[in-house]
């Protein structure tokens, strides 16, 4: 049967429309899958990322790390944990030693962080961290948690942060991670710190944090739940697969 020109054009239009509808349906499905509500975790989880983790301090009280590691819902499980180690020049987190040991024994990838004050001597803050944290092969780089300005100008915050970062890089032989929130990074840090891996806090954003540079970790919620922890806890994702996560760690 011969089909005239108008008929062929109609067939092409129908096929094109079908492809467009299929593409729209696929796109809508992908968008819908960005976040899925899991009652077990108590939050919407960004399921487009494969590697999930938490960060903790003494405020999470005594943690059953085996229960944390064993929890799995669908394909989502906790693979890494950032643990508070120190703060300022004299403070150590009361739960760090136990959390560090038990998280490692449970098989989680560990990272330790320091809460930084630009009003305190950065070298003494670096010594505080080094005296408490012994990083070994397979641990994540040290983390500078910098999120409070203490009425200091950006120039002071940048200069003191650089001293801490450079001192810790010399000590551990690996470039530290910077943790902060979106507003603080844009206001006080900016382009001068783009060479450092970024762990960014930006809650309740669909798909990704709205930061104008590359990031490696995203703290997407501060009200999550996980087996083994009685309190709410911060949830994070890693931007990569398990091989990329291990590549970030100390060799």
User: Rounded to whole angstroms, how far apart are CA atoms 214 and 230?
Assistant: 33
Residue 241 among the catalytic residues: no
Instruction: Please pick, among 55, 93, 145, 167, the residue that the annotation labels catalytic.
Output: 55
55 is annotated as an active-site residue: yes
> Long-range contacts of range 35-44, CB-CB < 8 Å, 24 or more positions apart?
35/206, 35/207, 38/73, 38/74, 38/76, 40/71, 40/73, 40/225, 41/73, 41/76, 41/224, 41/225, 41/226, 41/235, 42/223, 42/224, 42/225, 42/232, 43/221, 43/223, 43/224, 43/225, 43/235, 44/221
- Which of 147, 166, 169, 222 is the catalytic position? 147
* Catalytically active residues, by annotation: 55, 147
């Amino acid at each position: 049967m011969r089909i005239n020109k108008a008929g062929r054009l109609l067939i092409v239009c129908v096929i094109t429309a079908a492809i467009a509808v299929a593409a729209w349906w696929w796109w809508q499905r992908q968008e819908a899958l960005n976040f899925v509500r899991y009652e077990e975790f108590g939050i919407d989880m960004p399921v487009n990322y494969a590697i999930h983790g938490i960060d903790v301090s003494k405020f999470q009280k005594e943690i059953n790390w085996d229960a944390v590691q064993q929890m799995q819902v669908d394909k989502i499980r906790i693979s890494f944990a950032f643990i508070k180690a120190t703060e300022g020049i004299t403070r150590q987190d009361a739960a760090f030693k136990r959390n560090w040991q038990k998280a490692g024994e449970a098989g989680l990838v560990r990272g330790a962080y320091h809460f930084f004050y630009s009003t305190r001597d950065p070298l003494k803050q670096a010594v505080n961290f080094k005296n408490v944290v012994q990083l070994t092969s397979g641990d994540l780089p040290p983390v500078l948690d910098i999120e409070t300005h203490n009425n200091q100008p950006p120039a002071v915050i940048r200069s003191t942060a650089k001293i801490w970062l450079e001192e810790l890089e010399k000590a551990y032989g690996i470039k530290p991670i910077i943790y902060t929130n979106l507003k603080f990074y844009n206001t006080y840090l900016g382009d001068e710190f783009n060479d450092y891996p970024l762990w960014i806090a930006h809650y309740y954003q669909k798909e990704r944090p709205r930061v104008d540079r590359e990031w490696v970790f995203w703290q997407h919620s501060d009200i999550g739940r996980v087996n083994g922890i009685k309190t709410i806890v911060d949830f994070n994702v890693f931007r990569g697969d398990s091989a990329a996560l291990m590549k970030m760690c100390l060799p």
